[in-house]
Amino acid sequence: MVEKYNLKDVTFLIQVQLDSIDRLVNLKMVINFLQENFDTNIQILEAGHFNNGLIQQFIPRNISYRFIEDYDPVYYRTLYINKMVDNCKTPFLSVWETDIVVPPEQVIAAVEMLRNNSADFTSPYEKKALDTSFLIRQLFYENQDWKLLDKHQNKMKKMYPPNPVGGAFFANKLKYIEAGMENLFFYGWGIEDGERIIRWKKLGYKYERVQGNLYHLTHTRMQNSTHNAKQRSYKLSELNRIRNMTKEELLNETTHSKKNMICNH
């Protein structure tokens, strides 16, 4: 048995809406991957019309699980990330999507930069986010060995080249809260990953990336994995607004937002 890496000071925050069987299978594989490689903390927040109990049937008891009833067909992921931060008790956190696998050494390198204060935020990969394809995803499901993904990387399709930023990130929890956490203007899928990095850098936080790949386990693309044209237009406008703000304007807005969050908590 391979010795697990000690990540007791990290909590992985996973948000999920079960829009397909693929999503459920991918979540199971990702949880297996995290628990086999790391001695860590995992929280899962599921939102949906009703709790069908499927996730609870396979997650270990040491994983924190919460269900929120939500009849909105659009998955408000930024809102749920912010809700999860309230329950995070560790100094570091990772916002980790349900379909993501990253080589363990890259995860450790990303966390070490937070621990030694050389970064406030980190991405555990750089330059290549690779979609596995259904065939390689099935091989991974059968073998549960992340090295198989490295072996077959040249057969995978690049996602969002040349500089993908989504899928997973690590943060100093206090700095993440200071920076305003997630921008709730981003409703539905996409674009929020780029916005938060622009905001972090503009506010003067240290953001670093780890060399290596991120692997995305293929799944059926439903409503909450595709762009709505009207939503995309709104979100691009917000992205450009953040990009064009001065540091002082952004600091004032972030401070105001935090005060509102405290008042409404």
Find, among 236, 160, 188, the residue nearest to 77 by Cα.
Answer: 188
- The pLDDT assigned to 262 comes to 37
Domain spans of the chain, in order of start: 8-264
Topology of domain 8-264 in CATH is Spore Coat Polysaccharide Biosynthesis Protein SpsA; Chain A (3.90.550)
The DSSP call for residue 126 is B
- Is 23:225 a contact under the CB 8 Å cutoff? no
Q: Walk along the chain (265 residues) and give the pLDDT tens digit of each residue.
A: 568 999 999 999 999 998 788 999 999 999 999 999 999 999 999 999 989 889 999 899 999 999 999 998 888 999 999 999 989 999 999 999 999 999 999 999 999 999 999 999 999 999 899 999 999 999 999 999 999 999 999 999 999 988 899 999 999 999 999 999 999 988 887 788 999 999 999 999 999 999 999 999 998 865 555 556 777 888 888 888 999 999 999 988 876 555 444 344 4
Token pair in block for residue 116: 């030694």
Concatenated DSSP letters of 133-164 = HHHHHHHHHHH--THHHHHTGGGSEE-STT--
Q: Which pLDDT belongs to residue 261?
A: 46
pLDDT reported for residue 264 = 45
Task: Specify whether the CB–CB gap between 74 and 155 falls below 8 A.
Answer: no
pLDDT the model gives residue 263: 40
